Amino acid sequence: MTMYVYELDRVEHLRDWLALRNDVFQPVDNGLGNGSWEAIAHGEVAHFDPQLRPLVSPKSMFFSEQESLFVFDSETFATTKPKHGSQVLFGVKACDLVAISYQDKHFQQDPYYQARRQKTLLVGIDCSAPCENGFCRSVNAGPQVNENIADLILTPMPTIGGDMQGWWLICSSNNGRAAVSGMDLRPADSSWKSWREMNRRHSEAGFKSDTHIINGIQRINARAVPDEHWQQFAHQCISCSGCSQICPTCSCYTTRDLQEDDKYRRQRVWDSCQLEGFQKEASGANPSAEAGRRMYRFWYHKFSEDIALKMGRFGCTGCGRCETVCPGSVGVHSIMEKISNA
- 125 or 139: CB nearest ligand SF4: 139
Minimum CB separation of residue 268 from ligand SF4 in Å reads 20
Burial of 259 (0-12, 13-18, 19+ CB in 10 A): exposed
Query: Which residues would be at the binding site for ligand SF4 (CB under 6 A)?
Result: 237-243, 246-249, 274, 302, 316-322, 325-328, 330, 332
The answer to whether 234 and 295 have CB atoms below 8 angstroms apart is yes
- 5 or 141: CB nearest ligand SF4: 141
Q: How far is CA 277 from CA 35, 61, 186, 246, 328, in A?
A: 32, 27, 57, 19, 20
Residue of 267, 239, 270, 240 lying closest to 252 (CA atoms):
270
Burial of 65 (0-12, 13-18, 19+ CB in 10 A): exposed
Q: How far is CA 57 from CA 3, 82, 245, in A?
A: 27, 21, 10
User: How far apart are the C-alpha atoms of 124 and 103, rounded to whole Å?
Assistant: 17
Minimum CB separation of residue 149 from ligand SF4 in Å reads 15
Contacts of 98 by beta carbon, 8 Å cutoff, 6+ apart: 136, 141, 142, 146, 149, 313, 317
| Pairing outcome for strands 66-72 and 263-270 | antiparallel
Please write down the long-range contacts of 251-257, taking CB distance under 8 Å and 24 or more positions apart. 251/63, 251/103, 251/106, 251/107, 252/278, 253/63, 255/69
- 121 or 243: CB nearest ligand SF4: 243
The CA R_g of the chain, rounded to the nearest whole Å, is 22
Minimum CB separation of residue 274 from ligand SF4 in Å reads 4
- 168 or 296: CB nearest ligand SF4: 296
The answer to whether 280 and 220 have CB atoms below 8 angstroms apart is no
- 121 or 246: CB nearest ligand SF4: 246
Minimum CB separation of residue 218 from ligand SF4 in Å reads 17
Q: Helix count (H) and strand count (E) of the chain?
A: 12, 14
Minimum CB separation of residue 325 from ligand SF4 in Å reads 6
- 36 or 175: CB nearest ligand SF4: 36
Minimum CB separation of residue 334 from ligand SF4 in Å reads 9
Minimum CB separation of residue 287 from ligand SF4 in Å reads 18
Minimum CB separation of residue 317 from ligand SF4 in Å reads 4
The answer to whether 322 and 231 have CB atoms below 8 angstroms apart is no
- 187 or 312: CB nearest ligand SF4: 312
- 192 or 230: CB nearest ligand SF4: 230
